[in-house]
Chains A and B, each alone.
Chain A
């Protein structure tokens, strides 16, 4: 297991078991890095309970105007593609919540009236659980985009095995999350909702040229729309994990199933091996 490999765990639909799979894989990997990129609702730390050794505030630049210098010329507000600036009755108004922090307005202002001020976007916590490095980002309430926080998190990939716990969906956060991944593990549940969203995230990883495989979670032996999707679309099925109320109960209490059951420890150990094998051959 000496080579460097970054695996992103995704699902499209929320609540299919991304975090359960990611934290248990990380726990059996022992010497590895776990990164929680679900910055809107980070949960990995609830299971891994890392000893935190650093906490860093991540900021993002937003414009502030010096009204003594601004002459209301509208050059900045006309140029802002996001309409985050407006001049009303000769006075510049700034809407930081829709500003994308592109930096154009500072460059254009002929009066030098705009300055970039750092605003708190969230925190990045680094910790460890024995040999496992645990990183997580927590987006500040009310902030629209966690993309810069995910970028900051991913700068910490140092080599070895990295397991990234992804956000749900298939939008910009997921896109950023998998930008550095070598392989994507898609966790799917046996419902039509799960299948629909598996298809969307599979489309995204394929578009980005990332090899992927699916883990069918909560299977019941009945019809599984996600399995049917995978089979019809050449998406390798790496494993199927049957619905188990005990697993659900342990996980709901914030515990690691691999610590509670030798059987599951073996299961996740073998699963990690299979994923690494699949990723190397992809």
Chain B
């Protein structure tokens, strides 16, 4: 199974716009929303007759039994996550606790136990031979990278030649988790100094993991000079530049109505369709 991952570095450049159009244009039978921090792909994936949702569990978090705590402070001293709150009896801030168990090891009273903790929900939707994997992180949970891996695992065994993964902004653990095993990372950039600066960092992250990259520029006509700068950068770095998408107010109208650009015919939709053809050709060659 080839895995096409859509990334950007900078947020709000149009990852989900491109991913949702590609899913429809390619006839993909498996796709996933790896932006578990701020998932949106479900809004443009249509309705699914079959869905299953289950709780996703984080590492168990520390709990201090108030009846046994003597407020000796040893747990507070060893915790590197500022998760222990001193007081008459000490308490654990479950949001800050990462579940390392150091406090439990040092507690002389045996007052600390590790309790199961729900970190989010993970869903698998089905429609005919299509499957869509997505998740929502529970507020205050910090296990983003592992949840992204779990989202990807749900479509791993699917009988599909191509899977499309919508990624998250940035370069940290969720992006690293989404990059692992990707066939190609298509970077959706925007023509701005911020867009280029962020693009360079996410490309460096992909290259560190030996994932091939390609670039498109969305809303290209907002700043043609910056768009040209991105194209030059790609030429210098020998990165395939797969085209530009013009700024088009119809995009928001379409997406707000829950439709992808695959069935639209405005200037942005025309450009996305041409870019899909080039992306498909590049994927074939990898």
Contacts and interface: CB of A to CB of B under 8 A. Distances in A.
Nearest to B99: A81
7 contacts: A11-B11, A15-B169, A38-B170, A43-B197, A102-B80, A220-B249, A254-B192
B205 A142 contact: yes
Give the interface size class of chain A: 35 or more
Contact of B201 (A141, A190, A208, A225): A141
B256 A79 contact: no
A2 interface: no
Contacts of B43: 192-193, 196
Given A104-B101, A144-B145, A40 B171 contact: yes
Contacts of B267: none
A13 B11 contact: yes
Contacts of A19: 194
- Taking chain A's interface residues, is the majority helix, strand, or loop, or is none over half, making it mixed? loop
Interface in B173-212: 173-176, 190-195, 197-198, 201-202, 204-205, 208
B59 interface: yes
A46 B195 CA distance: 11
A4 B258 CA distance: 44
Contacts of A15: 10-13, 169, 190
A142 B197 CA distance: 16
Contacts of A11: 11
Contacts of A129: none
A172 B99 CA distance: 14
A101 to B, nearest CB: 7
A253 B139 contact: no
Contact of A196 (B38, B100, B170): B38
Nearest to B142: A172
B208 A175 contact: no
Interface string A126-146: 000000000000010111111
Contact of B197 (A46, A203, A245): A46
A252 B190 contact: yes
Given A14-B12, A168-B170, A252-B195, 5 more contacts: A81-B101, A168-B37, A170-B137, A192-B43, A208-B140
Given A16-B12, A100-B100, A175-B140, A139 B172 contact: yes
A41 B197 contact: yes
A82 B99 CA distance: 9
A102 B80 CA distance: 6
A143 B173 CA distance: 8
A167 B12 contact: no
A77 to B, nearest CB: 13
A170 B197 CA distance: 23
Nearest to A20: B194
Contact of A200 (B38, B100, B168, B193): B38
B117 interface: no
B139 A204 contact: yes
A139 B202 CA distance: 12
Interface stretch (B122-130, B156-164, B218-226, B270-278): B218-226
Given A81-B59, A251-B192, A41 B169 contact: yes
B16 interface: yes
A245 B223 CA distance: 10
Contacts of A142: 176, 205, 208
Contacts of B192: 251-254
A189 B102 CA distance: 43
Candidate in B95, B169, B194 with the most chain A CB atoms within 10 angstroms: B194
Nearest to B175: A40
A107 interface: yes
B198 A203 contact: no
A207 to B, nearest CB: 5
